[in-house]
Amino acid sequence: MQRRWMAGTIAVVSALGMTAVLGGCGMTGGSAGLTLKLVAADYGDNAANSSQKYWDKLVKEYEAEHPDVEIDVSVYSWNDVDRKVREMVAAGDPPDMAQIGAYADYAAHNQLYKADDLLSIPVQADFVGQLATAGQVKGVQYGLPFASSTRVLFYNKTLFDKAGITPPETWEDLADDAEALKAEGVEYPYALPLGPEEAQAETMQWMLSGGGGYTDSVDSYGIDSPENIDTFAWLKDDLVGKGLTGPVAPGELNRAAAFAAFAKGDVGMLNGHPSLAKIAAKAGVKYGMVPTPGKEGTTSSTLGVADWMTAFRKNGHRDQVGDFLDFVYSEKNVLAFSREYDLLPVTSSASSAMAASGQDRHLRTFLDELPSSELYPAGKTSWADVSAQVKQQIGKAVAPGGSPSGVLSRLQAEASRAESAE
């Protein structure tokens, strides 16, 4: 394990909070002090649970043990944080650290430290395996997983009991349950949010349930694979075409609206992540959760999602940044963050602690899915463009008169062009 130099003052910009305007990065705070800046995303949904509070507490504890270190944290909403960091990088003034949604573009331009350069061996080895792999570009890890979640099928127990049905295990079961819910007057028997907010997630969840995915066995895009075409043909013909997805066209239904409808008791089934459990419980909805149904049985792999911590090379400060990140990724701190925002730990030690704890029972279903989950191809610099295209176009694949093979083939052609430009 490399020996770290700790003479300066580290100023980290809070990862996970709102507001705060960033100044320049680099040496600030006095002759003996080194200030490291961290820009972070806010996982809270109001001022009372802003991520800024998490970072303030963590930084206070760190600085108490490192009196020559100052951590300067700025937290922005998810609507702004990636753009803020892009603007800082473009201006030649990147933060020392950024906790954001993507890393591949910065890594491709040699702007980031490698995980090997930053973290102690025990900390780096503690990352959940597939999350660490998803942080790699060409076999080298640049993205440090910071928060994760998986997707499962939520169902409204009250509506299911009224219809006399049980949770589905296969696509056929899901369609039958949706028919029964429709007969009982349920507005959205199955909510299928393929609107532009987060269509890439629902799309990948369904691709995986049909044995496909965004990429093939050699990690090239395989969007128009036979498996994916069959999946969307089934969605179009057996769910959407039979009026089982509700009054709003899937291409116009966003995830937030679908979650809100579930909280109102208007949805029988939908795919969701841990925050939906919190939303539903707060609204008094009696819900259950099961693994996503597959074509022939329970899906072998579900969608996993991760957000990323990155460290920029321009300002130097490698050892100081690494020391602080070792602290950030301690079991105690990873657990505290995960519990505060109902997310899954990104380290094996914290995952084991959560699995053994009674206070985390509501997350156990999601935690059980994590080892077999598959993540977006975030290591491809083309993924941001491909994801944007999926958000805009995939709803057309299940629309009346739409062509699943035609839409997926167009997306594949655009993805191939973007990939060849990497």
Architecture of the CATH domain 152-301+382-420: 3-Layer(aba) Sandwich (3.40)
- What is the rounded average pLDDT for all residues in the chain? 90
Q: What angle do CA 181, 185, 188 make, to 5 degrees?
A: 65
The pLDDT tens digits for 154-208 are: 999 999 999 999 999 999 999 999 999 999 999 999 999 999 989 999 999 999 9
The answer for 3, left when phi > 0, alpha when psi is -120 to 50, beta otherwise, is beta
Q: What angle do CA 47, 260, 293 make, to 5 degrees?
A: 120
The pLDDT tens digits for 374-407 are: 999 999 999 989 999 999 999 999 999 999 999 9
- Note whether 34 and 95 are within 8 A (CB): no
The pLDDT tens digits for 54-82 are: 999 999 999 999 998 899 999 999 889 99
- Percent of the residues in the chain that have a pLDDT greater than 70, as a whole number: 92
Domain boundaries 34-147+306-371, CATH class: alpha beta
For residue 59 the two structure tokens come to 């930084």
| pLDDT for residue 114 is more than 90 | yes
Give me the residue spans of the domains in the chain. Answer: 34-147+306-371, 152-301+382-420
Q: Which of 8-12, 108-112, 113-117, 330-334 has the lowest mean pLDDT?
A: 8-12
Q: What is the dihedral of CA 403, 375, 87, 42, to 10 degrees?
A: 110
The answer for 169, left when phi > 0, alpha when psi is -120 to 50, beta otherwise, is alpha
| pLDDT for residue 361 is more than 80 | yes
The mean per-residue pLDDT over the stretch 20-31 comes to 34
The pLDDT tens digits for 292-329 are: 999 998 888 899 999 999 999 999 999 999 999 999 99
| pLDDT for residue 268 is more than 80 | yes
What DSSP designation does 291 have? P
Q: Which amino acid is at 1?
A: M
What integer pLDDT is reported at residue 326 of this predicted model? 98
Instruction: For 12-47, give one letter per residue: b (16+ CB within 10 A) or e.
Output: bbbbbbbebebeebbbbbeeebbbbbbbbbbbbeee
What DSSP designation does 41 have? E
What integer pLDDT is reported at residue 169 of this predicted model? 96
CA gyration radius, the chain: 22
> pTM for the complete prediction?
0.84
Nearest CA among 412, 358, 366, 360 for reference residue 389: 412
Identical topology for domains 34-147+306-371 and 152-301+382-420? yes
- Taking the C-alpha atoms of residue 349 and residue 331, their distance in angstroms, rounded to an integer, is 6
- Taking the C-alpha atoms of residue 218 and residue 209, their distance in angstroms, rounded to an integer, is 20
The mean per-residue pLDDT over the stretch 77-94 comes to 94
The pLDDT tens digits for 122-164 are: 999 999 999 999 999 999 999 999 999 999 999 999 999 999 9
- Taking the C-alpha atoms of residue 250 and residue 239, their distance in angstroms, rounded to an integer, is 11
What integer pLDDT is reported at residue 371 of this predicted model? 85
